[in-house]
Chains A and B, each alone.
Chain A
Amino acid sequence: MRWDDYTSPGWDELLRDGQARAGCEGMVRALGLLSLAELRDRQSAAELAVRAMGITFTVYTESRNLDRAWPFDVIPRVLSTREWSAISDGLVQRLTAINLFLDDLYTDAKVLADGVIPREVIEGSVNFRPQCIGATPAQGVWAHICGSDLVRDSDGTMYVLEDNLRVPSGVSYMLENRQVTKRVFADLFRDLDIHPVDGYPHRLFDLLAALSPRPGIRPTIVLLTPGVANSAYFEHAYLTQQMGIELAEGSDLVVDSDDCVYLRTIEGPARVDVIYRRIDDMFLDPAAFRPDSLIGVPGLMRAWRAGKVAIANAPGTGVADDKVVYAYVPELIRYYLGEEPSLASVPTWLCHDEAQRSHVLANLSEMVVKPANESGGYGIFVGPQATRAESEAIRDRILAEPRNHVAQPVIALSTAPTLCDDRVEARHVDLRPFILSGEHPYVTRGGLTRVALRKGSLVVNSSQGGGSKDTWVIDPTVGDAPLVSAGARTGDR
């Protein structure tokens, strides 16, 4: 690979003016030894591996759900250990504050009494659950598993774009991407000191097991899935296999009059201790939330409130990933921890505030406007790329529902070299690390890098033409040395 004609419209993760960034030297050197044809061979091998391993995601269309091969770009995205350590610390700080906030909000609500967040912001959030007030989940932790989206602007600043606190997905792809690159880039693993990522399922299992309301007894843990039609079903099945827990659907579970949750097994009912739920709050329990939910378990909230079963993430966590509440997270960090946030949040204008709304409406062409409670990249307005009609439409929607819209400046999104048809080109990427909040916080080494495969596109969601890359956190201090023994590593186990 030669980089003579490689250019990035902004900040590139690997190169600066054709030279390797700090920490990326080993990777650039390794790629330099490969011709474009060899790289393409490895891409084909990777695509074959993705197919054989059955790594898929489901796309909803009008007529049916399609199971598609997971789109994967063979060139890994590289981060240095030094930078990652700082980001990792910042994420732990952030989640610590968010969990303190959730625990406070659903008990004493001092945060509202002290005026840190206006009461109407919380009460206006569709993800605030009055049903959770007074609940006391184990260890005071509500958001056990979080997938935060990080983006880097053209000046190199890394921002937290959003925290996914309800049912974040993608970690299975992070793990499988690594399996794929091990197959096709085994030679590079010999020369670069790449932090392993496969400790995650073990950590997640330990976190879930520690939540059991019956300490001393081997807990029965289930992952509660909406079922085979869900877009993340691959991940649900994969994680249960990796953790050795049960994959359950709502109809496999029943809550008895003793408020305990039971699993329908071939030997009769078996008590469930911990539920890793991958179902949205509103569908979790038709007796507490949407009565028309067919995928939930009637009585589950009753069992949870009685302390007979642990649920991760706890119901009600979604209030903290409301995009309006997001704007207050730096303030929450100061309020609960007395610290300055070490990771930047994207400046956010709240449309329910009249002054801020006027600013947004006057500068729509430079703004990204988001609905407060959507995920998956749906409903996002990107000012610089919008047509006149789209601009008019978003203006009407903001005026109709100001509480449900926030606006942010356009973040250019950094790029990473990506194999395109006949050459390697810069494509925009983001990064979703996963943060586990239990007795000991844990952050994945790197995370899932998503890449917008269309030239110029900033949309990285797999449902909308996005792909993914393996993410290598490399320790440049040992980059030139042969692989050191596992014991000497600072890796994740």
Chain B
Amino acid sequence: MRGEPTKDPAGPRKDDVVLLSRVAESVYWTGRYLERAEDIARLLKVHTELHLDLPKAVGPGWSPLLAVTGAAGAFHALHARPTEEEVIGFLAIDADNPGSVLSSLARARANLRTTRSVFASESWHALNGFFQWALDTRDEAVDRRGRLRWMDGVVQRCHLLTGLMDGVMSHDHAYAFLAVGRNLERADMTTRVLDVQADILLRSSDQLGPYADITWMSVLRSVTAGQMYRRTMGGGISGAQALAFLLKDAQFPRSVEHCLTVIARSLLELPHSALPMAGCAELQSRLESADVGALASGGLKHWIDDLQTSIAALSETLSDSYFRVGSESLLRTA
């Protein structure tokens, strides 16, 4: 679209396209919020399906969902008991919960709205229509009859957007920030699921008895890893193997390892990326040196907590390197 105003052909195009720090930050958060909406919707769907399978006595209840999403405090400030309807409503459609699916979509939309120039217009139309749909149909999210379909609708529309952005937007610096945001959020969500669900499972597999397998499968399915796990690891499910798959598999796009690889590759595209690259490399080497078998028999929670702290630190490093550039330092580098 950018026309050529002068006779003199300007140099290679790529060097000329500037990316504002504020825009980079909004694009990064667009990636994170879209991924968050997708991940939470899938989590709610899979947890609901698990409930349909398990007898009431051994059911995990609904509070693990609050723990995974880190929303327990906010929830209990408003609600007395974590009943199914209230937990699902809070996490799916509550506008007062900044981490709900609907709030995440609203935030993704608000961010994309301020950065329309870097996205293709199809992305804006798709996300805008998506948000309107989610708003119009939000009542279906809570009731068990419509819930699975609504969550599927969210997940599919997120995939549509991911595909649109991949397929019609230039894979430029803005796209790199989008990919970093998406994969950082994805890694974060995978570790959260492990933090809460796997920890409970590893400690209480005796009580679960015959239901341990489907519960582990449910953990895998929370990050759509069920089928790919079977293909890669073979038939049965063991806690240690599931853990290894979700943390260290090099090919599965939602394993922490894979997310970090994409982040590192995207950072390579960006200027001045030494500091965030170092943060990412530190996470990768920690993952590589982890003894998953040992973690499965104890210490998982502590290890994951450390990993999550480092993921949050990487996000801060991105902020310092690209988003919060004060005018003094701006002009010093001029």
Contacts and interface: CB of A to CB of B under 8 A. Distances in A.
B18 A54 contact: no
B2 A218 contact: yes
B330 interface: yes
Interface in A341-373: none
Nearest to B334: A269
Interface string B11-32: 1000010111111100000000
Given A205-B2, A246-B18, A266 B272 contact: yes
Contacts of A245: 2, 117
Interface in B233-271: 270-271
B331 A256 contact: yes
Contacts of A237: 113-114, 116-117
A167 to B, nearest CB: 19
B21 A262 contact: no
Interface in A173-208: 201-202, 205-206
Contact of A52 (B6, B128, B173): B128
Contact of B22 (A219, A238, A264, A268): A264
A53 B270 contact: no
Contacts of B271: 266-267
Nearest to B2: A244
B115 interface: yes
A217 B333 contact: no
A216 interface: yes
B206 interface: no
B18 A265 contact: yes
Interface residues of B, number: 41
B75 interface: no
Interface stretch (A90-98, A152-160, A247-255, A466-474): A247-255
**Residue with the highest number of chain B CB atoms closer than 10 Å, among A218, A246, A252:** A218
A173 to B, nearest CB: 16
A264 to B, nearest CB: 5
A463 interface: no
Provide the main secondary structure of the chain A interface: mixed
A303 to B, nearest CB: 14
A249 B22 contact: yes
A252 B5 contact: no
A265 B115 CA distance: 14
Contacts of B21: 252, 264-266
B322 A241 contact: no
A217 B322 CA distance: 26
B8 interface: yes
B129 interface: yes
A54 B130 CA distance: 11
Contacts of A248: 20
B211 interface: no
B331 A210 contact: no
A228 interface: yes
A268 B329 CA distance: 9
B333 A265 contact: no
A245 B238 CA distance: 54
A258 to B, nearest CB: 9
Contacts of B270: 266
Nearest to A228: B114
A264 B20 CA distance: 6
A216 B10 CA distance: 7
Interface in B9-63: 10-11, 16, 18-24
B3 interface: yes
Nearest to A249: B22
A209 interface: yes
A266 B128 CA distance: 27
A226 to B, nearest CB: 13
Given A256-B331, A262-B331, A268-B334, A241 B20 contact: no
Interface string A125-147: 00000000000000000000000
B2 A266 contact: no
Contact of B125 (A54, A201, A269): A54
Contacts of A54: 113, 124-125, 128
Given A210-B5, A241-B116, A266-B270, A218 B327 contact: no
Contact of A212 (B5, B114, B121, B272): B5
B8 A216 contact: yes
A386 interface: no
Contacts of A218: 2, 4-5, 10-11, 16
Given A228-B114, A249-B22, A266-B21, A243 B1 contact: yes
Contacts of B3: 202, 205-206, 209
Contact of B330 (A219, A246, A269): A269
Interface string A247-287: 11101101010000011111111100000000000000000
Nearest to A238: B116
B319 to A, nearest CB: 12
Nearest to B326: A264
A334 interface: no
A475 to B, nearest CB: 28
Contact of A215 (B6, B16, B124): B6
Interface of B: 1-6, 8, 10-11, 16, 18-24, 110, 113-117, 119, 121, 124-125, 128-129, 132, 173, 270-272, 322, 325, 327, 330-331, 333-334
**Pairs of residues from A and B, 3 with the lowest C-beta to C-beta distance, nearest first:** A209-B5, A218-B10, A54-B128
